[in-house]
Amino acid sequence: MPAQPPLADLRVIEFLGLGPGPFAGMLLADLGADILSVARPGTTMPAMAENRPVVEADLKSPEGRELVLGLIDRADVLIEGFRPGVMERLGLGPDDTAPRNPGLVYARMTGWGQHGPLAAEAGHDLNYIGLTGALHHAARAGAVPTPTANLLGDFGGGGMYLVLSVLAALHQRRSTGLGQVLDVAIVDGTAYLTAMLHEYRSSGMWSDTAGANRLDTGAPFYDVYRCADGRHVAIGALEPQFFAALVELLGLDPQWSRWRNDQSRWPELRRAIEQAVAGRTRDAWAAAAAGTDACLTAVLDLAEAADHPHLRAREVLVPAPAGQSGWRPAIPAGHRKDAGSAQEVMDRWAADAPAQQDPARAASQKGERI
């Protein structure tokens, strides 16, 4: 019999939005949490919302508000990603929910945070990572910084930071019995991700010039190179022993193992690596590097990644749900489950109180969409 998911006893109500909020909800659901997502009537479902049921509710109507408050009464965690002040105007802010459910962890996910000069302004991943300094180093020397899709801000500094904050608050609740309001901002989480760079910079090991550092393509042995077929390999041979293995693999002059820290020779070394890599196809280099410590790997697209033997062995990507093509990411401690319909979830949550005291149960029994 499979082990119980780690968050199986956790109830989460999520107000569906875009980006980091749904990502956090997906992760919590994959870890076993019992999540019910709330959306406006007629809303097009955002990405990463398919592994949990959705109830439609008009939050501006008294009936919709009472339905949601009834669910909040029984939740451990609330996640919302509206602009500051929206939940308060709906009568669903922390001051409205705390008297009803003192143990609720109220998680607020925004880009700029609940306070500060930019709190009320619009923005997206690119804006947040740009302001924190993280985007600046996604560039080669003299080149324009390259957006990293929305992986760094929305999901690394946003969704993951949100889940971490929620779990920390739940741990603290075990000793206090009280929840708390979490002001989770993408700028905060992304800035935290730059901790090592700030430490290096403070000790003189990192330059503010993009593309001039060992980890931002400044070093020729930590970069991406084009192969004979136009595809690419990633080389990350930072340590001396790994660089020596790379020199042997590429057939370079063994003297490079002595010269590698001489930055005046880095342009020459880069040309030597470029010329060597250009002599074979990507997959030929990947095959040649297999079993070595040269730290050379193929740069795969999303479809290719799902078919890589290592990722298959670890079940990192699993087939998409029936009727869909492609793959979905998985995590070792979790699994995609059938959480049931929204009505089934509301009935489960309402079972611990009489129906006449529970607007959610009453509404669900009538089959209403409020």
The verdict on whether 335 is a catalytic residue reads: no
Mean pLDDT, the chain, integer: 91
Contacts from 83-88 at CB under 8 Å and sequence distance 24+?
A: 83/110, 83/120, 84/108, 84/110, 84/114, 84/115, 84/119, 84/120, 87/15
Mean pLDDT of all residues in 333-356: 70
Asked whether residue 8 carries a pLDDT value surpassing 80, the answer given is yes
Would the CA dihedral through 54, 57, 63, 65 be positive or negative? positive
Task: Kindly name the residue from 30, 73, 76, 154 that is annotated as catalytic.
Answer: 154
Name beta bridge partners: 170: none
Token pair belonging to 187: 């700028």
Task: Kindly name the residue from 124, 136, 232, 335 that is annotated as catalytic.
Answer: 124
Return the pLDDT at 172.
97
The verdict on whether 124 is a catalytic residue reads: yes
Asked whether residue 15 carries a pLDDT value surpassing 60, the answer given is yes
Residue 339 banded pLDDT, cuts 50, 70, 90 = low
Token pair belonging to 277: 């890599």
In the chain, what is the greatest distance between 2 CA atoms, to the nearest angstrom?
A: 82
Give the SS3 label for residue 268: helix
